[in-house]
Amino acid sequence: MFVEEKLKQLMLPEPVAIIGAGLTGKSCFNLLSAVGIQCQVFDERKILPQHFSENPDMVALGPFEAKTFAEFATILVSPGVDLRRACFVNAVAKIITDIELFGRLTTRPVIGVTGSNGKSSVVSMLHLATQQQGLDYLLCGNIGVPVLAALQGSDDQCDGYIVELSSYHLERAPSLHLAIGTWLNVSPDHLDRYDSYADYVATKAKIFAQADYCVANAADSNVLDYAQKYNNVVYFSGERNRMIPATYHCEADMIYAGQQALFDMANFSQVGLHHAENIMAVFAMAKRLKIRDAAVVAACQQFVPLPSRSVTVGKKDGVLFINDSKGTNVGAAVAAIRGIDAPIILIAGGQGKGQDFSPLKQVCKNHAKHVLLMGEDAPLLATVLQGSVAISRVNDLNEAVSTAIRIAVPGDVVLLSPACASFDMFSSYLARGDLFEKIVREWIDA
């Protein structure tokens, strides 16, 4: 097979320590073991993941220590691994990431999309557009299919890859060459992983340096600052009067390319300017790929909102309930709030990850009638929001929903957009969103 032969030619120093026993770690193990490369998987969790049940002896569970990787010549890491830890900083082995290995192995065009919010929706819509056009692009990366799994599964015999890239992916991937690099937006997130917000932004900005063609949000000042350093950029923007004229823009819910009307947001399943920006990015990338506008329109109309991303749960007594549990950072919550043209009862809180909550103050003052706070960083949020909006502290999501139902009046929107991670109370943002939907539906059906 082509990919396996090319991997042999790379001659990775052996043995290889694969860090992380998640799906990415499994994809690394599958590829390396297929060509006989000696490797061992390491993970600090206590329970072996089910997908390694057939290879339990290949996974070492337990805390990482300075000597853990002493016998290994190469360390292959998953995106979530923090390489600032002493066991990696002091390691003598060569460190490589799965996305870097993917970059060295693939010969097909790679379309990369990053941003603090909206990545999954954008890559999903672009993937649908390629299918409408009859193209065979594989969807992978942060959206759930590891890049090496996509690569090995196709043997690189496809038209290309559409890759959702997190900042973690971009940290160490100098060999990743992008046909198109798209940066949707940036707002404080993962600050527990980076030394500063500026460091996080600079990591995101690597996507432009590694792309032949760039798509940038001119309405985001941080994205714009970096994009202006390059000549091969097309801009989109949901705001007017920008110093940089945007090819793709939105006026009165109509998306335009210049003067040409492309898509009416009334035909999209979600509301809000941030969704319009996502669609503009899809049109911009599709144009570069020579995909018909009609194929993009069909893809946008076909697109089903991903779980816990501004999903309408239901309506009762004139009160609408929206699940945006994926709003795990301030930027996502701000976008969700601004996208609703009705009085909002906001449910927020959880693990703040060191974020600055201050951008929420003005947007809540302008759009929210009441904020219900729960979770670990509820006290911090309460301090920031004090004086701008009515605030209530609740113990859990059940109490939050019941309180929202009690104070809501016809015309209100109850929005779960926590601006925080979920791990203080839930296994994931999906579990948080699922519980919200369950509670709401039980009340609607009662």
Binding site residues for ATP, as ranges?
115-121
- Binding site, residues? 115-121
DSSP 58-89: GEEES---TTTTTT-SEEEE-TT--TTSHHHH
Integer Cα distance of 229 and 220 in angstroms: 15
Task: Determine how β-strand 413-416 pairs with β-strand 344-348.
Answer: parallel
Integer Cα distance of 294 and 431 in angstroms: 36
Element (H, E) at 120: helix 119-132
Are 204 and 186 in contact by the 8 Å Cβ rule? The answer is yes
Integer Cα distance of 61 and 377 in angstroms: 31
Integer Cα distance of 264 and 254 in angstroms: 5
Integer Cα distance of 248 and 194 in angstroms: 32
Count of other CB atoms within 10 angstroms of residue 70? 12
**Residue bearing tokens 């759930």:** 144
Residues 6 or more apart whose CB falls under 8 angstroms from that of 163 comprise: 99, 110, 111, 112, 113, 123, 140, 141, 147, 169
In single-letter form, the type of residue at position 127 comes to: H
Integer Cα distance of 262 and 442 in angstroms: 40
Q: Which of 273, 282, 323 is nearest to 300 (CA)?
A: 282
